Amino acid sequence: MFDACADPKAIEGLTWLACYLTSGKHMAFYWSFGTVLLLLALTAPAALAMGFLGATAARSRFLPLSLVGKGYAAIVRGVPDIVFFLFFVIALDQGIEYLKSLAVCPDHSWPWQGLEFRVCPEAKVPLARSPAAWHQAYGFGLAVFTFAIVFGAFAANVLYGAMNAVPKAQLETAEAYGMSHAQVFRRILVPQMWVYALPGLSNLWMILIKATPLLFLLGVKDIVYWARELGGAKTQAYDYPHPDWRLWYFLALLVFYLVFTKVSEVVLSRISARLNHGQATAGGEALRKAAA
């Protein structure tokens, strides 16, 4: 990055360290923190939306739709996360390529040849000749969708319980005033349920933060990938050989996650206090006693 870093073997001391920490690979390591934050920023609302749809479907009076909502939450929550991540991403990728092969491949042959999955080159997603950025973006998109599916199931279970926790007397009173079922759901149930859902959603957010290292298993070059690569002992084939420093790199990740979860706790506690203010809940009662 600097002119003095042109020949790493000719520098030492603080200059060597400055050049080492500003190398191209370290820049990628620093950017990978943004990858994790972007994953959280995209996954959280997507999972919440899927959870809301799942919880709404589970409460539906239409039995098939109710079974779909309850089945989604039960099946996904019943499969270990690591198994789901390793299986679902591969199945989704192959499903996309198979559907594309039906449109672009001339022979429309069945892609499975024994235990191998093969489609024509034009059906690959992305294409082999596509820039590396497209391959990274595609892998990241699959990761976001998979995270949303998994954590959406947990969110559906939390929201379903929160909807059932809303006092039925409020719903019946609204119906007595002439509100339709849709109006009761939109104006009474949904605004009230967040008070009961927030503790569970807060825990789910913390679990989501801790689950971000699973990006490494999905082939995305996240902070865990770069910490392992940069911290490991290098040979003379590398510009900056050094001993095994993985302890320090993973210690930096530990600090990052602790600080991030602490900030999350502060923000969530303020949101909880705002939602519980004036509510006839345990949280609202605690706020009233604290004010007194």
Q: How does residue 278 score in pLDDT terms, banded at 50, 70 and 90?
A: low
Residue 120 backbone dihedrals phi, psi, to 5 degrees: -65, 155
Sequence-distant (6+) residues with CB within 8 A of 59 are 66, 69, 160, 163, 164
pLDDT over threshold 50, residue 290? no
204: confidence class by pLDDT, cuts 50, 70, 90: very high
**Would you state the pLDDT for residue 222?**
86
pLDDT band at 70 (very low <50, low <70, confident <90, very high): very high
What distances in angstroms separate CA 98 from CA 113, 122, 156, 180, 184, one per listed residue?
13, 11, 30, 45, 44
By C-alpha distance, which of 40, 73, 36 is closest to 56?
Answer: 73
Q: What is the pLDDT of residue 110?
A: 79
The whole-angstrom distance between residue 122's C-alpha and the CA centroid of its chain comes to 30
Q: What is the CATH number of the domain that holds 50?
A: 1.10.3720.10
d(CA 42, CA 144) in angstroms, rounded, equals: 7
Domain count, the chain: 1
Angle in degrees, CA 92, 95, 98, rounded to 5: 155
- pLDDT greater than 50 at residue 287: no
Would the pLDDT of 91 be above 90? no
For the cut 70, the answer to whether the pLDDT of residue 146 exceeds it is yes
Residues in contact with 121: Cβ distance below 8 Å, sequence separation at least 6, in sequence order: 127, 128
Of 128-137, 190-199, 276-285, the range with the highest mean pLDDT is: 190-199
> 184 is in which domain, residue-wise?
3-291
**7-38 per-position pLDDT tens digit:** 777 787 888 888 888 888 888 889 999 999 99
**What is the pTM for the complete model shown?**
0.82
